[in-house]
Amino acid sequence: MTRSDLMARVLRPYKENCRYLRSAAVTSRDGLAAARCEFTIPQSCYIDDTGHLNSVEANICYNQMMYYLVARSVRESLIDGLKDWTMDDYWKRQLPDILIARFAGNFRRPIDARAFSGEMEFHSLARRSPGGAAPFIVAETSFRYWDAHGGRCDGEVTLALVNIP
């Protein structure tokens, strides 16, 4: 499967007018990974044009960026905490078992939603099994978006990966 085929499959669950991720360059270091991406939102999927990236669309873009980065990381064994996963494990878990536990964003200057860039990075993954419960993975990540006109947004997201293989 080529990288463009992988991106198409990662974005398949999204309605066609909500596929905002256009490209992604993935890097890895020290058992963690990051992605630098390009986005376009020609028209909001839920509201009249606000003229800028809003928090709902920022979250959707984060999801698409994160799902693609996790898929690439599984396929290429980039993240130490996911090296036991197969692509079948990923496809089964993409929507039901990769959860946003906390999402915090800071909108510093309006971003043109029609053409902007973003990046996200995994900072840590930790396997937990509190009180002998089923194990899960907590991942600490960060993201940021920017455009050619000085628009800026950044934030931090905690993920919980449940029902892990």
Residue 45: its pLDDT value, please? 79
Q: What is the DSSP letter of 51?
A: S
Question: How many structural domains comprise the chain?
Answer: 1
End-to-end alpha carbon distance in the chain: 22
CATH of the domain at 94: 3.10.129.30
Structural domain for 126, as ranges: 3-161
Give the tens place of pLDDT for each residue, 137-156. 999 999 999 999 999 999 99
Q: 56 to each of 10, 59, 85, 105, 115, how far by Cα in Å? A: 19, 5, 30, 11, 16
Output the pTM of the full model: 0.96
Give the tens place of pLDDT for each residue, 97-140. 999 999 999 999 999 999 999 999 999 999 999 888 899 999 99
